[in-house]
Chains A and B, each alone.
Chain A
Amino acid sequence: MKAFTKVSGVAAPMDRANVDTDMIIPKQFLKSIKRSGFGKNLFDELRYLDEGMPDQSCEGRPVNTEFPLNLERYQGASILLARENFGCGSSREHAPWALDDYGFRAILAPSYADIFYNNSFKNGLLPVILDEAIIDKLFTEMYAEEGYELTIDLEQQQVITPSGESFAFEVDEFRRHCLLNGLDDIGLTLEDADFIKAYEKKRRAEAPWLFDTIK
């Protein structure tokens, strides 16, 4: 996993509540057996005016010129400003894969759906939680200023605006540690293999019906 320490970039809006994972990456693209290449179909049904198909080039597709990510001013954005309950719906990790592949490194929102929140950390994508009033303020500033750039400093746990104003955010210590260092979760867990084996040994004795039934 790629590390996340400090990211500065243009912020783009996804100005609606309850953005679901079907909206982030529609189901037809989930047929891929790969982990990459989802960025061109991020928000497909909002970005384009026709129905997208897997393995189709997006060159020449009719574009929804009103959708923010299609506007000149938000090109190259790496920070997504969003609303309440972002990423609700399915557990598809294709959602953070698509956001990451498009070029987003962080999301700022008042809240996230639990599974999406979890999945993001596994992919070097930082979901920052800020109070609704702060998010409102950032939306207002962003709309007012073309090229509005934010800096997200995970080390210091701060979001910094162009005027130098900063907002602190909370993040789990374990997740922060993994993200700062780009650590592989599985490798870390396997360092505790003895604990897992000891638990298993105890449960085999107590509850043998849990083992060796499916084979």
Chain B
Amino acid sequence: MAGKTLYDKLWDAHLVKQRDDGSALIYIDRHIVHEVTSPQAFEGLRLANRQIWRVDSVLATPDHNVPTTVKERASGVEGIEDPVSKIQVKTLDDNCDSFGITEYKINDRRQGIVHVIGPESGACLPGMTVVCGDSHTATNGALGALAHGIGTSEVEHVLATQCLVAKKMKNMLVKVDGKLGKGITPKDVVLAIIAKIGTAGGNGYAIEFGGQVFRDMSMEGRMTVCNMAIEAGARAGMVAVDETTINYVKDRDFAPSAAHWDAAVKEWQNFVSDDDAVFDSVVELDGSAINPQVSWGTSPEMVVDVSAAVPNPSDEADSVKKAGMERALVYMGLQAGQKITDIHLDRVFIGSCTNSRIEDMRAAAAVVKGRTKAASIKEAIVVPGSGLVKAQAEAEGLDKIFVEAGLEWREPGCSMCLAMNADKLGAGEHCASTSNRNFEGRQGYGGRTHLVSPEMAAAAAIAGHFVDVRQFELEGE
């Protein structure tokens, strides 16, 4: 019999009941909750007079709506100027208080973006099943966990039953071997993967990211990659457990105590694909051939190398794809054949659940250190992913580097990734953004997003346009 994949093992370890109709009950170890996708779930529980099955499995924090300026954050939830946002954050507080759920409230130093605080606190661990009412939950798959986003009905279902009704997904291996070149980041790797397989390429699959590039990658880098599995269509992305994983988890707030540590590590070491495991689909990329990536269009698969030009729809044979490209060019205000480095930029956003961890902050700071933001960039904001990331960055003096270079240093939250708070693009503005989606209107009505790595965003803030960060560093040295 063929061996098992990492996903097979995670599935088997959480199978509560296989039903005759092909569906299964899967046990959920950890449930992270935020303010946007939970109010209707709590309301549903109340209406049906249901209890929470296991309150110690739930951790909550507000992130999508929270303001990121020091001024608006100063008086906590009461200080949120947008009355609709304020009600939503307050509703989360009230629901957590009344159901007894642990919540890192708006100005708790452990507050942050759900997918940053999960691994950071040790609430999410290797071998777990993790869900959250947010599609970027796959971030936690970097730990060797089965983690994916769910809708509000499923949030309610997990709160009430500790289980999900699920059907097993297919297995896909995305294998990237070789060694990444200097200045090439996990973000470039995942954008290159999405460009290759397309935004629907992973539909119906759980993706395991394997190969030398991921073995060499830090945990935070793996989180960036798994985070964007959904942009390749896959609900779940994951990386096998290794020494890097175990070292990352050790001593975190909710990591196993000394008494359980050895047993936990022993169990976690099993969460790797067997050598003879069979995948339904295998995609291979050469890591050494990946260049800095920039998205030009309105779908995360519309990505090219920084040295390239905006593609021409007339070169596309598929009529539906071609129409999509033409529409994207109109929305983005770009011409086919225009060089990526010639796109005029208005704003820079460094943050989001994709790229707001301490390594991202360090990487961006290293690029802007001793330099000055281009005058043509109206605003460049750096938004750390959590209060703890912020504190660490400040302890290292990164905040001062950003501010001296003319960038703004903000309070933690989702911010301009999806513009549910006051941080947004104006109509027609182009933004170099470290976030995960370049959909129409995503970062603000009429806003034009270009997805890049933190290094590339930082370099763009200084140059005023996209530059190959590899050359940029050489010029400055």
Interface residue ranges, A against B (CB under 8 Å): 16-18, 20, 22-23, 26-28, 30-35, 45, 51, 54-55, 83-85, 88-93, 96, 111-115, 118-119, 122-123, 172-174, 177, 185-186, 188-190, 192-193, 195-196, 199-200, 203, 206-215
Q: Which residues of A contact B437 (CB under 8 A)?
A: 20, 22, 89-90
A12 to chain B, nearest CB (A): 18
Cα of A33 to Cα of B418 in the assembled complex, Å: 18
* Structural contact, A123 and B153, CB atoms closer than 8 A: yes
* Structural contact, A114 and B233, CB atoms closer than 8 A: yes
Any A CB within 8 A of the CB of B5: no
A54 to chain B, nearest CB (A): 5
* Structural contact, A45 and B441, CB atoms closer than 8 A: yes
* Structural contact, A185 and B153, CB atoms closer than 8 A: yes
A38 to chain B, nearest CB (A): 11
Any A CB within 8 A of the CB of B218: no
* Structural contact, A118 and B157, CB atoms closer than 8 A: no
* Structural contact, A31 and B56, CB atoms closer than 8 A: no
Q: Which residues of A contact B446 (CB under 8 A)?
A: 51
Q: Which residues of B contact A119 (CB under 8 A)?
A: 151-154
Interface residue ranges, B against A (CB under 8 Å): 16-17, 19, 21-23, 25, 27, 29, 36-37, 39-40, 43, 48, 50, 53-59, 64-65, 82, 84-85, 87-88, 91, 102, 123, 125, 127-128, 133-135, 137, 148-154, 156-157, 160-163, 165, 167, 169, 199-200, 203-204, 230, 233-235, 254-257, 260, 263-264, 267, 299, 320-321, 323-324, 327, 418-420, 437, 439-442, 445-446
Cα of A199 to Cα of B133 in the assembled complex, Å: 24
User: A113-B203, A122-B154, A185-B153 are known contacts; what are 18 more A-B pairs with Cβ within 8 Å?
Assistant: A20-B439, A22-B418, A27-B442, A31-B65, A33-B39, A35-B43, A45-B445, A88-B233, A91-B37, A93-B153, A114-B234, A115-B230, A118-B154, A174-B23, A186-B50, A192-B17, A203-B27, A210-B125
* Structural contact, B40 and A33, CB atoms closer than 8 A: yes
Cα of A196 to Cα of B28 in the assembled complex, Å: 10
With A111-B203, A214-B58 already in contact, the answer to whether A186 and B439 are too (CB < 8 A) is: no
Cα of A88 to Cα of B167 in the assembled complex, Å: 19
Candidates A45, A111, A206; contact of B200 at CB < 8 Å? A111
* Structural contact, A174 and B156, CB atoms closer than 8 A: no
* Structural contact, B135 and A115, CB atoms closer than 8 A: yes
Q: Which residues of B contact A122 (CB under 8 A)?
A: 151, 153-154
With A92-B151, A203-B27 already in contact, the answer to whether A192 and B16 are too (CB < 8 A) is: yes
* Structural contact, A91 and B65, CB atoms closer than 8 A: no
With A18-B199, A22-B440, A174-B21 already in contact, the answer to whether A30 and B420 are too (CB < 8 A) is: yes
- The residue of chain B having its C-beta at the shortest distance from the C-beta of A215 within the complex is B56
Candidates A89, A92, A195, A212; contact of B25 at CB < 8 Å? A195
Candidates A20, A118, A214; contact of B57 at CB < 8 Å? A214
B437 to chain A, nearest CB (A): 6
